[in-house]
Amino acid sequence: MTGLVGQRALVTGASTGIGLAIARAMLAAGATVGVHHRRSAEDMSDVLADMVQNHADAVVPLQADLTDPAAQDNLIGQFVETAGGIDILVNNAGGLYGYQDFRELTHDDWERTFALNVTAPAFLSRSAWPHMIAAGQGRIVNISTAAVGYAGSGRSLHYAASKAALEAVTRTLAKEGASHGILVNAVRCGVIDTDMHRRVDGYDEALWKDRLKLIPLGRPGQPADIAGMVLHLVGPAGNFITGQIMSVSGGE
DSSP secondary structure letters along the chain: --TTTT-EEEESS-SSHHHHHHHHHHHHTT-EEEEEESS-HHHHHHHHHHHHHHHGGGEEEEE--TTSHHHHHHHHHHHHHHHS--SEEEE-----S--S-GGG--HHHHHHHHIIIIIHHHHHHHHHHHHHHHHT-EEEEEEEETHHHH---TTSHHHHHHHHHHHHHHHHHHHHHGGGTEEEEEEEE-SB-SSHHHHSTT--HHHHHHHHTT-TTSS-B-HHHHHHHHHHHHSGGGTT--S-EEEESTT-
- Sign of torsion over alpha carbons 111, 113, 118, 120: positive
Q: Among 155, 93, 157, which residue's Cα sits nearest to residue 124? A: 93
Active-site residues, by number, are 159
Question: Residues 159, 145: contact at Cβ < 8 Å?
Answer: yes
